[in-house]
Amino acid sequence: MFLSELIGIEDAFKIIRNNQKVKEYETISLEDAYLRVLGEDIYSYHDSPPFDKSAMDGYALIAKDTFSASNNNPITITIIDEIRAGDFSEKEVHDCEGIKISTGAPIPKGADGVLMEEFTIANGNNLEIYSQVTPMENIAPKGEDIKKDDKILDKAILLKPSTIGLIASAGYDKVKVYKKPKIKLITTGDELVEPSKTLEKAHIINSNKYIISNMIKSLGCIVEIDYCKDNKDEVKIAILKASKECDIILTTGGTAISKGDVVVDAVELIGEILFHGVAIRPGKPFAFGKVNETPIFMLSGNPSAAMTQFDIFIRKYIFEIQGLKYNPSILKRISKVKIPSNLGRTDYIKVSSDDKHVNYSLNKGSGIIHSMVAGNSYLIIDGNNEGIKKGDIADIIFFKAMELI
Amino acid sequence: MFLSELIGIEDAFKIIRNNQKVKEYETISLEDAYLRVLGEDIYSYHDSPPFDKSAMDGYALIAKDTFSASNNNPITITIIDEIRAGDFSEKEVHDCEGIKISTGAPIPKGADGVLMEEFTIANGNNLEIYSQVTPMENIAPKGEDIKKDDKILDKAILLKPSTIGLIASAGYDKVKVYKKPKIKLITTGDELVEPSKTLEKAHIINSNKYIISNMIKSLGCIVEIDYCKDNKDEVKIAILKASKECDIILTTGGTAISKGDVVVDAVELIGEILFHGVAIRPGKPFAFGKVNETPIFMLSGNPSAAMTQFDIFIRKYIFEIQGLKYNPSILKRISKVKIPSNLGRTDYIKVSSDDKHVNYSLNKGSGIIHSMVAGNSYLIIDGNNEGIKKGDIADIIFFKAMELI
C-alpha cells in the first residue's frame, strides 16, 4: 500500500521555473512577424511624422490671412502651387498666397495652417475662403508621435497588428524575435485509437492527441506528435528521441501515483523525475522531469485533467521561455454556488462567470467530455481555504485571459 | 463647396449586412481544424465512454463484498484475472472475487465497483482489502458523457482544442468547415514607401500594409497584398483584378469626403458605391461598395482611423460570412474622464478600462502612431448622447472581446 507525497502547487511552480530553458533568437521579415515575440528593444530611425504634414485635403496658407474670413464675408488669396501626397514644393507661401495640398503631404515653407477644401471655392488661381484657420490647424508636426532614436517598444512583447505597424513606421523591415518553441507530444495508452465510426471492444479514441496538440498550437509553438503503447521500452525510446529533437516534451497517460506507472518509470530510467504528484484538483497525478536537459511534463491520460494541468503549468512555462510575462488577471466574483475543498489542496473548478457572478458550468454527474467544453473560467480555491460558500467572493480567471492572444 | 451627407452607423451596418456573400464549405482532416469554423452539426457515432470503464487503477469487484472491510479489519478476496487499458476479460466476477483493472479498461461482467489499488495489498492471487466500495464507485458508466447519435455540437462555431477533441471522441477524422475568406488588401498613396532606415523627402512608411494585413490574418482569413499610386486607372485595374480573385476587397487611402477622391471615384466607375461617409468618430471617410458582386470596404489612409473602421465594420462582416456570431460584450464601467460628443454621431474612443473604471489611454496631443497601440478597450458614445461626464456609467468593449479567439 503506497501513498505518494504530494507537493504543493507553489513548490511545483518553483521547481519548474528553476528548470527553464531560455529560447534563442532569430531575425525574420517583418511580414512574417504576426504573433511572434519581439527579441529586441525597438528604437525609431525616424521622426514620425518625418515632416510637418497636412492632416487634411485643402490649402496650406498663413493662418492670420484668414482671420477676417466668414461664410458671409469670404476673402480671396492666390493659389501658387499644388502638393500631392508623396510630393513636395520648393515654393514659399507669402501673405495672401496658398498652396493646394493633399492629406499626408509636407507643409510648404511659409505656411502655418491648412484650410479644409470644403470651406473654399477655387476660380482658376483665385481661392475664395469662407472660414478661419488657427496657427498649426490641420498640421501634424514633425516628430509629434515619435522622435528619432526614441525607444518605442520593449523586447519580449507579443507582436500584434498595431505593434508590427509601429515597427514598420520606425523603419524596420526585419525584426529579431524569439525562436518558436518546438514541442513533442507523446500520447500513451494501449486503449487509444484514432477517431473512427466503429470501435473494437475496449478501445477509446485518443482525444488527447487532438486537444493537447491544439493547445500547444494556440501558444504559437511548433508541435510534433508521437504515440506509444503502454510499454516501457517503447516509451523510453520515444522520449530519448524527442529529448534530442525538441525544446520540451509533453506526455499523456502513464502517471498514476499509486504504483510504478509506465511513463514516470521510463523517465526515471533515462533521466530524472523532479516531482510526481501535486496537491491540486483535478490533475493530481502530474509529473515533471528532465531527460538530456530537456524538460518533460507528464500529464494525465484523462483529457479533462490533462487540460487543467496544461492550463496550470504548461501555459506559464511556454509564455516564460519566450520572454513573455504570464499574469492572467485574477478577478473577484460573487459565488452563486457552494464548493467544498480541502486545506492544503488547490482547486481549479471550471465555472461560468459573468461580469458579477460565478456559477457552475455543469450539472452534477456530467462526464469528462462535456466538462472539456464547459465554462468560461476557473474558480480557484487555494490551499488555505476549505471551500466557497454561496455569496462568498471567489477568485476567478477567464480562460481568455490565459490565451496568448 | 461640397458637403457630403453622412449616414448613421446603424444604416451603414444594414447596407453592409444586405450585401453579404455567404461562404462555401470544404471537408478537411481533423488534424487541420484548429481555428476553422464548423460547417456541420456533429452527431456522435459512439457512446462515450463506449463501455462501463474503470476510472482508477485498482480491482473490479462486487461492492457488497467490501462492506465490512476497514483499515483494522481487512477482508480477503481472490484475484482471478487482470485487464489492462485497451484489453478486456471474458471472465465473470463472482462473490469474493476481483479482477485487477487499469484506468480506462472495461469493467468485467459481474463487477459493480472498483477499489483503488492503494487500499489493497496483493499476495499472489489473494487480495487484502482495507476499504469499502459503494456500487458504481470509480466506474464511468457507458454513455455517461454522450449517447450515440446525440447532437454534440452545432455548426458555425470556431474550432478550439476542446471542441476538436470532442469531435474526435465522436468518431470523426474529417470535418466540414467554412472555406477561409480570401481578402485582397490594396494600400494606396503616392507618399507610401516600404520600411527603411532612410526616407526621401515627402515619403511616409506604409504602416497600413502591416497593420491591416495582420488584422485580416488575426480573423483567420487568407490575405493578399497589393499597392497602387494615387492614379485612378491603376486603382481601377487593381480592384477589377481583385474582384475576380477574392471574396472581399479592402483598400486604404483615397476616400476623402470633400471631393472626388481616387479610390471612391475608381469604384464608382467600375462598380457601385453604396455609401460614402459615416457619422462616426474617428473614421468618418469610410466607404462601402461592390465591384463584380465583390464587396469592397474603403478605409482611410490614416492608420488610426483605418484600424477603428476595421474594428467597427470589417470584424463583424468577416465573422458573419463564416457563420460566426459577432457579439462582443458591451460592459458598464464608471468613467473617470469627461468626453464630449455630438448628437447623431457615434464615437469610438480608445481607453484603458479595468474591472470597474475607464480612463483615457493617452495624454492629449499624442499622435496617430502611439494611439494605435494605446488602450485595451473602446468607450462607445452613441448618437443619442452628447457625451460622458466624470462619474457616468459608460459602455465599453474590450479589444480582446472583438478578437476571433
- Work out the percent of chain A whose per-residue pLDDT is above 70: 96
The pLDDT assigned to B259 comes to 64
Q: Taking 90 as the threshold, does the pLDDT of residue B139 lie above it?
A: yes
List CB contacts (< 8 A) between A305 and chain B: none
In the block, cell 523591415 appears at: A173
Q: How confident is the model at residue B342 (pLDDT cuts 50, 70, 90)?
A: confident
* CATH architecture of the domain covering B9-24+180-321: 3-Layer(aba) Sandwich (3.40)
Those residues whose C-beta lies under 8 Å from the C-beta of residue A115, and which sit 6 or more positions away, are A58, A59, A61, A66, A98, A129, A131, A133, A137, A138
What is the C-alpha to C-alpha distance for residues A307 and B315, in angstroms, rounded to an integer? 30
Chain B environment of A256 (Cβ under 8 Å): 57, 103
CATH 3.40.980.10, domain A9-23+180-321, yes or no = yes
Give the pLDDT score at A131.
Answer: 94
The predicted pLDDT at position A260 comes to 66
Query: Does the distance separating the beta carbons of B368 and A140 come in below 8 Å?
Result: yes
Task: Give me the pLDDT at residue B23, please.
Answer: 76
> Do the chains contact at B210 and A164, CB–CB below 8 Å?
yes
Question: Which of A360-369, B8-17, B149-158, B250-259 comes out lowest in average pLDDT?
Answer: A360-369
Q: For B207, phi and psi rounded to 5 degrees?
A: -75, -25
Evaluate whether A25-48+148-178 and A331-402 have a shared fold. Answer: no
Q: Is B108 exposed, middle or buried (0-12, 13-18, 19+ CB in 10 A)?
A: buried
Candidates A34, A214, A332; nearest CB to B164: A214
**What is the residue type of B361?**
S
Q: Element (H or E) spanning B334, and its range?
A: strand B331-335
- Report A:35-64 residues touching B (Cβ under 8 A): 45-46, 48-51, 53, 57
Average pLDDT score over chain B: 92
Read off the pLDDT of residues A115-158 as tens digits, 9 standing for 90 and up: 998 899 999 999 999 999 999 999 999 988 889 999 999 999 99
Mark yes or no for CB contact B163/A373 under 8 Å.
yes
Answer whether B333 touches A (CB < 8 Å). no
Residue A47: pLDDT above 70? yes
Cβ-Cβ pairs closer than 8 A, A with B, add up to 274
Q: Do B230 and A106 touch (CB under 8 A)?
A: no
User: pLDDT confidence of B54, banded at 50, 70, 90?
Assistant: very high
Check residue B142 and report its DSSP letter: T
Q: Is the pLDDT of residue A4 over 60?
A: no
* pLDDT at site B365: 47
pLDDT of res. B372: 73
**Domain topology for A25-48+148-178:** Molybdopterin biosynthesis moea protein, domain 2 (3.90.105)
> Which residues of chain A are within 8 Å of residue B57 when distances are taken between CB atoms?
256, 258-259, 261
Say how far apart CA A102 and CA A85 lie, in whole Å. 6
- Work out the minimum CA distance from B202 to partner chain A, whole angstroms: 5
For residue A141, which of A32, A54, A34, A36 has the smallest C-alpha distance? A54
pLDDT digits (tens, 9 = 90+) for A262-308: 999 999 999 999 999 999 998 999 999 999 999 999 999 988 899 99
CATH architecture designation of domain A53-140: Beta Complex (2.170)
Instruction: Convert the pLDDT of each residue in A369-383 to its tens digit.
Output: 677 778 999 999 999
> Given B194, B256, B373, which is nearest A162 (Cβ)?
B373
Query: What does the pLDDT read at residue A49?
Result: 86
B290 to chain A, closest Cα gap in Å: 26
Which A-chain residues 163-222 have CB contacts (< 8 A) with chain B?
A: 163-173, 189-192, 194-199, 201-215, 217-218
Report pLDDT for B366.
47
pLDDT of the residue at B340: 87
pLDDT reported for residue B156: 93
Q: Encode pLDDT of A156-201 as tens digits.
A: 999 999 999 999 999 999 999 999 999 999 999 999 999 999 999 8
AA identity, residue A250: L
- Cα within 13 Å of Cα(B95), Cβ side: 2
d(CA B131, CA B66) in angstroms, rounded, equals: 7
Question: CA A400 to CA A135: how far, in whole Å?
Answer: 47
pLDDT digits over A94-116, tens only?
A: 999 999 998 889 999 999 999 99
The predicted structure's pLDDT at residue B3: 42
* B402, closest residue in chain A (CA to CA): A405
pLDDT at A258: 65
The predicted model gives B175-203 an average pLDDT of: 95
| pLDDT tens sequence across A324-336 | 999 999 999 999 9
Instruction: Answer whether residue A1 shows pLDDT above 80.
Output: no
* Mean pLDDT over the full length of chain A: 92
CATH of B331-402, one of 2.40.340.10, 2.40.30.10, 3.30.450.40, 3.40.50.720: 2.40.340.10
Q: How confident is the model over B104-109, as a mean pLDDT? A: 93
| Mean pLDDT value across residues A346-370 | 79
pLDDT at A77 over 60: yes
A128 Cβ under 8 Å from any chain B Cβ = no
> Do the chains contact at A202 and B258, CB–CB below 8 Å?
no
Residue count of chain A? 405
**What ranges do the domains of chain A cover?**
9-23+180-321, 25-48+148-178, 53-140, 331-402
Which of A205, A228, A334, A362 should we substitute to test contact with B (largest number of B Cβ atoms within 10 Å)? A205
Question: Distance of CA B202 to CAs A314, A399, B190, B274, Å?
Answer: 49, 47, 10, 33
Does residue B335 surpass a pLDDT of 50? yes
Q: What's the pLDDT at A392?
A: 95
Q: Give the per-residue pLDDT at B87.
A: 87
Say if the Cβ atoms of B195 and A57 lie within 8 Å: no
Mean pLDDT value across residues B195-201: 93
**Quick one: how far is CA A380 from the chain centroid?**
22
At residue B1, the pLDDT reads 31
A145 touching chain B per CB within 8 A: yes
How far, rounded to the nearest angstrom, does the alpha carbon of residue B331 sit from its chain's CA centroid? 19
- Indicate the class that CATH gives domain B34-48+146-178: alpha beta
Which residues in chain A have their CB less than 8 angstroms from residue B217's CB? Answer: 34
